[in-house]
């Protein structure tokens, strides 16, 4: 998962606004951050570094950088390793001028694109799939960059929400399936593009609309012009996990508030079954809290903030020594003994992936001598990997792919375990079922690829 941000202004310097926009998208990636802009000499410039936005970039330098349009990226590696070489935006000054690209998503036909391009003489500088888009564009030196970009995107399959900087303007593009969110914002005659609408408020900008699946928007002095990619998809594939976990609760995606969707998931989870003699509902903060509030409202059980997150620990402040590894989730989450002692609780989290977090937190709560602990998960069991830009492990590491629900409950030490059904999750999101991707829950991949297929080079199937 990654976050992208772009800004255009007919007058002002916007590089610092991109820095601020990225900081509002920090939850989408913490491995690296970067900002790119085109200077008065028609050259593309980029600054990037490893770590959080404030570690990787200098706000004061960007504040003084003259740029009427700029793009930025925060990265959580999915395709390509975690190294500075793979940090984005990726940039080039090629025959037709400067170009910079920032990408959220995964191209499912990256390997076949790279093979084709390398056979044409392309030399890849990174292992990131985003570079394939740049290479496809640069391999059309006879075309204007925007037209070359449109043609490059027509070759790409899978998930991409992009911001691109060209001399012709700032470009926002979303794949025809609409996997990852992308939205357009505005303040006066300044325009912004962001992975999530939560990034606009920080800049005093308002949310205009989502960039539509298959839409390419060009923003420059002439305003905003919308184009369509020459590809149609039979159904839309917006990632349902964005509503479950990834997106910030104050974002709107496809007209649906992430907060409301999450709260509704909690309500529906309470309808699945509430264990008897429960005293209160708690959450794993922050990911389970909104659903826990919905659970509490529906069940009538009081919500207690009984597990506390230490907001001040992160990679920056604590070195990953052996001692810290042993402490694991303890360093971040801590249950209040007084609230759990001799009481029965429902503990809500948004998802179980490997089962590590749930196991460690339940063990800590047991140490508080809780009477009973019922684990409730506000999404269906994650049984399949994601090929569309999320770092889900392969099935061999997914708890729900390996074990029955009773076994998971036993392994993590909960008295009972219930998940939300796929249907209830879709109802809670409130979008038509044929507009959502639920592949990591049900194995229904784009084009019917089965779970073991990497989808690489399978473009033909995509239009099934």
Interface residues toward ligand SF4, by CB under 6 A: 179, 239-241, 386, 388, 390, 437-440
Residue 91 binds which entry of ligand SF4, ligand AMP, none, CB below 5-8 Å type-dependent? none
Residue ranges in 67-126 that form contacts with ligand AMP under rule CB under 6 A: none
Can you tell me the distance from the alpha carbon of 338 to that of 358, in angstroms, rounded to the nearest whole number? 20
* Residue 300 CB neighbour total at 10 angstroms: 9
Angle at CA of residue 260, ends 259 and 263, nearest 5°: 85
Provide the pairing of β-strand 32-38 with 44-50: antiparallel
Q: Which of 92, 353, 372, 401: binder of ligand AMP (CB under 6 A)?
A: 353
* Residue 120 CB neighbour total at 10 angstroms: 9
Q: Which of 23, 351, 378, 438: binder of ligand AMP (CB under 6 A)?
A: 351
Listed ranges 17-25, 121-129, 334-342, 390-398: which one lies at the site for ligand AMP (CB under 6 A): 390-398
Provide the CA 340 distance to its chain's centre, in angstroms: 33
Listed ranges 56-64, 77-85, 89-97, 386-394: which one lies at the site for ligand AMP (CB under 6 A): 386-394
Can you tell me the distance from the alpha carbon of 248 to that of 241, in angstroms, rounded to the nearest whole number? 12
Residue 240 binds which entry of ligand AMP, ligand SF4, none, CB below 5-8 Å type-dependent? ligand SF4
Going by C-beta distance under 8 Å and a sequence separation of 6 or more, which residues neighbour residue 241?
351, 379, 386, 390, 440
- The yes-or-no answer on residue 2 being catalytic is yes
Q: Which of 328, 355, 443, 457: binder of ligand AMP (CB under 6 A)?
A: 355
Residue 179 binds which entry of ligand AMP, ligand SF4, none, CB below 5-8 Å type-dependent? ligand SF4
Q: Which of 239, 284, 439, 440: binder of ligand AMP (CB under 6 A)?
A: 284
Angle at CA of residue 175, ends 174 and 180, nearest 5°: 65
Can you tell me the distance from the alpha carbon of 95 to that of 1, in angstroms, rounded to the nearest whole number? 32
Is residue 357 involved in binding ligand AMP (CB under 6 A)?
yes
| In the complex, minimum distance from the CB of residue 215 to ligand AMP, in angstroms, rounded to a whole number | 27
φ/ψ (deg, to 5) at 194:
-145, 150
| In the complex, minimum distance from the CB of residue 30 to ligand SF4, in angstroms, rounded to a whole number | 18
Can you tell me the distance from the alpha carbon of 73 to that of 90, in angstroms, rounded to the nearest whole number? 10
Can you tell me the distance from the alpha carbon of 128 to that of 138, in angstroms, rounded to the nearest whole number? 16
Going by C-beta distance under 8 Å and a sequence separation of 6 or more, which residues neighbour residue 17?
7, 70, 190, 192, 203
* Residue with Cβ nearer ligand AMP (135 or 392): 392
Residue 438 binds which entry of ligand AMP, ligand SF4, none, CB below 5-8 Å type-dependent? ligand SF4
Is residue 349 involved in binding ligand AMP (CB under 6 A)?
yes
Is residue 350 involved in binding ligand AMP (CB under 6 A)?
yes
Is residue 217 involved in binding ligand AMP (CB under 6 A)?
no
Residues that bind ligand AMP (CB under 6 A): 245, 284, 287, 349-358, 390-392
């Amino acid at each position: 998962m990654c976050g992208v941000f772009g800004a255009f202004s007919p007058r002002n310097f916007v590089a610092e606004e991109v820095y601020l926009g990225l900081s509002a998208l920090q939850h989408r990636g913490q491995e690296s951050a970067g900002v790119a802009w085109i200077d008065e000499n028609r050259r593309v410039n980029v600054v990037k570094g490893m770590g959080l936005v404030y570690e990787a970039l200098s706000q004061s330098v960007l504040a003084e950088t003259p740029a009427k349009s700029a793009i930025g990226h925060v990265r959580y590696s999915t395709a390509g390793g975690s190294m500075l070489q793979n940090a984005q935006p990726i940039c080039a000054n090629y025959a037709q001028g400067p170009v910079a690209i920032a990408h959220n998503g995964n191209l499912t036909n990256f390997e076949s694109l790279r093979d084709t391009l390398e056979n044409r003489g392309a030399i890849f500088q990174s292992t990131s799939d985003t570079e394939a888009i740049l290479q496809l564009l640069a391999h059309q030196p006879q075309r204007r960059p925007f037209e070359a970009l449109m043609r490059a995107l027509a070759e790409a399959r899978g998930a991409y929400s992009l911001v691109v900087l060209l001399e012709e303007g700032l470009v926002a593009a979303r794949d025809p399936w609409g996997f990852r969110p992308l939205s357009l914002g505005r303040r006066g005659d300044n325009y912004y593009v962001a992975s999530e609408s939560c990034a606009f408020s920080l800049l005093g900008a308002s949310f205009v609309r989502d960039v539509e699946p298959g839409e390419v928007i060009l923003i420059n002095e002439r305003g905003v012009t919308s184009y369509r990619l020459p590809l149609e998809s039979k159904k839309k594939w917006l990632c349902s996990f964005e509503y479950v976990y990834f997106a910030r609760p104050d974002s709107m995606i496809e007209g649906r508030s992430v907060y409301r969707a999450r709260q509704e998931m909690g309500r529906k989870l309470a309808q699945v079954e509430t264990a008897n003699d429960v005293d209160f509902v708690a959450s794993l903060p922050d990911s389970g809290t909104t659903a826990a509030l919905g659970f509490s409202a529906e069940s009538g059980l009081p919500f207690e903030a009984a597990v506390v997150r230490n907001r001040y620990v992160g990679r920056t402040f604590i070195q990953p020594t052996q001692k810290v590894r042993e402490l694991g989730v303890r360093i971040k989450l801590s249950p209040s003994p007084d609230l759990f002692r001799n009481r029965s609780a429902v503990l809500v989290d948004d998802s179980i992936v490997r089962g590590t977090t749930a196991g460690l937190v339940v063990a800590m709560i047991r140490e508080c001598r809780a009477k009973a602990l019922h684990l409730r998960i506000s999404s269906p069991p994650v049984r399949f990997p994601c090929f569309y830009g999320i770092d889900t492990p392969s099935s061999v590491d997914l708890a729900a792919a390996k074990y029955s629900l009773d076994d998971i409950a036993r392994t993590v030490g909960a008295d009972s375990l219930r998940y939300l059904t796929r249907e209830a999750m879709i109802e809670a999101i409130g979008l038509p079922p044929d507009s959502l991707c639920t592949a990591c829950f049900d194995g229904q991949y784009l084009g019917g690829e089965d779970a073991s297929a990497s989808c690489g080079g399978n473009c033909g199937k995509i239009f099934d």
